[in-house]
Amino acid sequence: MAQGTSHFIAETNVDFLSWSIGDLLRDAAHQRPDSTALIIPADVYGRPERRWTYRELESEAERVAVALLRTCEPGDRIATWAGASSNLVMLHLGAALAGVVLVTLNPACRGEELKYLLNQGDVRGVFLDRVFRNMDNIVVLEAVRPLLPKLELVVYLDEWETFVGDAEEAPELPLVQPDAPALIIFTSGTTGKPKGALLGHAGVANNARFTQARIGMPEGSVWLNPLPMFHVGGSVTMTLGCIANLGTQVLLPEFSPEAMLDALQRYQVNMTMAVPTMVLAMTQCEQFEHTDLSHLQVLVTGGTVIAPDLIRLIRERFHCEPMIVFGQTEAGGAMCLSRRGDSIELLTQSVGAPLPLSEAKIIDLEGRLVPLGVVGEICVKTRCRMLEYFRMPEKTQQAVDGDGWVHTGDLGILQEDGYVQITGRLKDMIIRGGENIYPREIEDLLAAHPAVQQSAVFGVPDEKWGEQVAVAIVLKSGYSCNSEELGLFLDGQIARHKMPRVWHFLDTLPVTSTGKVQKFVLREQLLLG
């Protein structure tokens, strides 16, 4: 810690390994070939439970790598547009072995979103479900496919075996370098289109190593992963973190409190990660009181503001240790994490300390270090950070400065012990139930409605979801329209969790002298009634 200033250098007594994701997998398969690596529970559709040992996981990933290389070259990009499944895990690992970059898309995204993401990611192939949550993906994809000239390969996941085929008779796989690109995970700030954070192999492999070491689970523990595989939390922290632990990952295809409680008991889970919405949903489920949670040691939470009551609830009702994580895709996953044994006071007043080999600092608007305890923007320097925003050099320079510091856009305080306290966000992003929602995307769609003069989308507090989407609307002179009509207009263009739930019709929007909409004023107006 620089004397009196908000600059913390974390522990340096660990090694940064020059490993690819494939190296991480092969090391686990070498050390524990016959240990269970992955379990997919039986589901409500009648599909039976499936299991893979580490030897089998490595073998299946190699088959997928070979199958991909029939169509793709190392460095090409393929996308997943599907719910969590064993196939997504195999694609995650198989693409890594093939040197193919995996672009992970939210399966809830629809037409315009899908077209933009596939074009921006310069995607050559896409793997998808035919139906997701009763939505016909075939119709959506075929509508935009003429606008995707580089998309050559389309594989529906119910044809998985046909795709993999007899790939075991394949030639030797390429040598994938640790600094090669591995994943593109889309994220965004408060303005503009979503940006694809390009993550390197060594970055995510080491972030997973450091995170699982800080969580401190015994080797070979059982991890329950209910997080989406298109998030860095599901694909890096939980999937690669579990492999780094040589543990057993129980992958929940889709969250429901009943399914999660059943898995916690059935598989004697030792560690899980859940956003606050999931935690509350489980405790409100009738099944909760009858669930054996005696094997659960740690529950990691984050993704939004953590209320002190939630920490106490985890300790008192789950009878396990709560941990807090603060992460960002641009930083390669987790940035800060609490430690085992931290007090309730520390857990409720911070998001933990930086991971090993990472630095954190707090700066003012001019980029100067602020004194300890003073609010400013949180910046992190880590070797795990993204390589770039894919083909967006100007956006990359805005997010990562010339000295390698990731500017998070979050406001906070650095404590003397190196723990970070979040106080707010520079970015205008809405976090609803752990899902990031970007106002500009919704505002751009509303601008296309003939009755809308201007709109401003912002977040308002919500007891269940953390935040809810609100929108202020100014109609054009002589036009009339209501929230139901505008909701129908948005339906099918964006995912359902992004749909505004609070509508506010005004004659004008409050603006600054330079014409920038003051969303904090709109938020206050709604909250004060």
Residue range 1-19+201-392, CATH number: 3.40.50.12780
At residue 299, does pLDDT exceed 90?
yes
Q: Map tokens 């030897």 to a residue.
A: 55
At 189 the pLDDT is 42
Does residue 232 sit in helix, strand or coil? helix
Does residue 254 sit in helix, strand or coil? coil
At 190 the pLDDT is 39
| Average of per-residue pLDDT across 423-433 | 77
Quote the tokens at residue 341. Answer: 């044994």
Task: Considering only CA atoms, give the Rg of the chain.
Answer: 23
At 308 the pLDDT is 81
At 199 the pLDDT is 98
Give the fold, CATH level 3, of 430-527: GMP Synthetase; Chain A, domain 3 (3.30.300)
Bridge partners, 410 (sequence order)? 425
| Average of per-residue pLDDT across 69-89 | 96
Architecture of domain 21-35+51-176: 3-Layer(aba) Sandwich (3.40)
How distant, in Å, are the alpha carbons of 101, 447, 467, 475 from that of 452? 40, 6, 24, 5
330 closest CA partner among 429, 444, 225, 458: 429
The average confidence (pLDDT) of the chain is 92
Higher pLDDT, 97 or 436: 97
DSSP state, 355?
P
CA 403 centroid distance within chain: 26
At residue 170, does pLDDT exceed 80?
no
DSSP of 364-429, one letter per residue?
Answer: -TTSPBPBTT--EEEEEE-TTS-SEETT-HHHHHHHB-TT--EEEEEEEEE-TTS-EEEEEESS--
| Average of per-residue pLDDT across 483-503 | 94
At 47 the pLDDT is 86
Predicted structure pTM score? 0.85
At residue 193, does pLDDT exceed 90?
no
Percentage of the residues of the chain whose pLDDT score is greater than 70:
95
Location of each CATH 3.30.300.30 domain in the chain:
430-527
How distant, in Å, are the alpha carbons of 358, 375, 380, 420, 422 from that of 362? 14, 7, 9, 9, 11
- Span 334-351, pLDDT tens digits: 999 999 999 988 998 899
165 confidence band (pLDDT: 50, 70, 90)? confident
Higher pLDDT, 200 or 435: 200
